[in-house]
Amino acid sequence: EAGVTQFPSHSVIEKGQTVTLRCDPISGHDNLYWYRRVMGKEIKFLLHFVKESKQDESGMPNNRFLAERTGGTYSTLKVQPAELEDSGVYFCASSQDQGESEQFFGPGTRLTVL
Amino acid sequence: GNSVTQMEGPVTLSEEAFLTINCTYTATGYPSLFWYVQYPGEGLQLLLKATKADDKGSNKGFEATYRKETTSFHLEKGSVQVSDSAVYFCALSPYNFNKFYFGSGTKLNVKP
């Protein structure tokens, strides 16, 4: 069974540009999460989807970030326009059920904003 | 609020040395506690967990005990191997595993 995949693995963009990150969860997992690790600091929660609905988006830093999960399968996270402080590693995770269900993480997308 | 503090790295050990990575937390209610590990080029993998006070999580020779009185969840291994070289993250989930709060990670380097 394939794990959580993320694309691209690394993105380098100029300040002010737009970037879209993609996450493909494990097949059949209704729950999808986005996290971010900035500058080697702690990994911070961004948001949680249950199928196509946003269950919790309390961690989204500002309105330059837009997450979607149309059809309840893969998800995209768009940053527009990107700022220097958006640089970091963006992780996606998925889980089958809510409650005591393990979250499986992807390898992350490293975003560098110059 | 909820937060996790873990010791800064990198930690460099020789093979077969004893490992301790300290982790303390603040939380509302009664969280579940976790250690995740990230090997180079891979995603985070759950290493072990404990869901209530005094529980001990263990896996692959690693152990951690949920200490409510000291709000700690220190990771230990009696004899590390080169293959244990990775970044280790302590985390808590205050409710239902739906939202995690992570520490900043501790990089472990094990030398042969």
Tell me the per-residue pLDDT of B39-86, one tens digit each, with 9 for 90 and over.
988 889 999 999 999 999 999 999 999 999 999 999 999 999 999 999
Q: How far apart are CA B56 and CA B65, in angstroms?
A: 4
Q: How far apart are CA A62 and CA A64, in angstroms?
A: 6
What per-residue confidence (pLDDT) applies to B5? Answer: 95
User: What are residue A34's DSSP bridge partners?
Assistant: A47, A92
Region A51-70 average pLDDT:
94
Q: Name the residue facing B41 among A31, A56, A107 (closest C-beta).
A: A107
Q: How far apart are CA A111 and CA B91, in angstroms?
A: 23
Question: With an 8 Å Cβ cutoff, are B99 and A4 in contact?
Answer: no
Which of A29-33, A97-101, B46-50, B65-69 is predicted least confidently? A97-101
Residues near A62 by Cβ (< 8 Å), separated by ≥ 6?
A: none
Chain B neighbors of A3, CB-CB under 8 A: 43
Per the prediction, chain B carries an average pLDDT of: 93
Specify the DSSP class assigned to residue B9: S
Q: How far is A108 from chain B (nearest CA, A)?
A: 7
Which of A1-5, A51-55, B15-19 is predicted least confidently? A1-5
In angstroms, what CA-CA distances link A42 with A94, A96, B7, B13, B87? 19, 25, 12, 23, 12
Q: How far is A88 from chain B (nearest CA, A)?
A: 13
pLDDT over 70 (residue B96): no
Residue A22: which of A108, A112, A114 has the closest Cα? A108
Question: With an 8 Å Cβ cutoff, are B99 and A40 in contact?
Answer: no
Burial of A112 (0-12, 13-18, 19+ CB in 10 A): middle
Q: How far apart are CA A64 and CA A96, in angstroms?
A: 29
Q: How far apart are CA B112 and CA B110, in angstroms?
A: 7
Report angle CA B13, B15, B19 to the nearest 5 degrees.
Answer: 50
Q: Are B88 and B75 in contact (CB under 8 A)?
A: yes
Report angle CA B21, B26, B30 to the nearest 5 degrees.
Answer: 105
pLDDT over 90 (residue B1): no
What per-residue confidence (pLDDT) applies to A101? Answer: 73
Q: How far is B8 from chain A (nearest CA, A)?
A: 10
Amino acid at B30: Y
Chain B neighbors of A56, CB-CB under 8 A: 98-99
Q: How confident is the model at residue A99 (pLDDT cuts 50, 70, 90)?
A: low
Percent of chain A with pLDDT over 90: 82
Positions of E strands within chain B: 3-6, 11-14, 19-21, 23-26, 32-38, 44-50, 56-59, 62-65, 75-77, 86-93, 101-102, 106-111
Q: Name the residue facing B43 among A42, A102, A106 (closest C-beta).
A: A106
Instruction: Say how many Å lie between the first and final Cα of chain B, rounded.
Output: 41
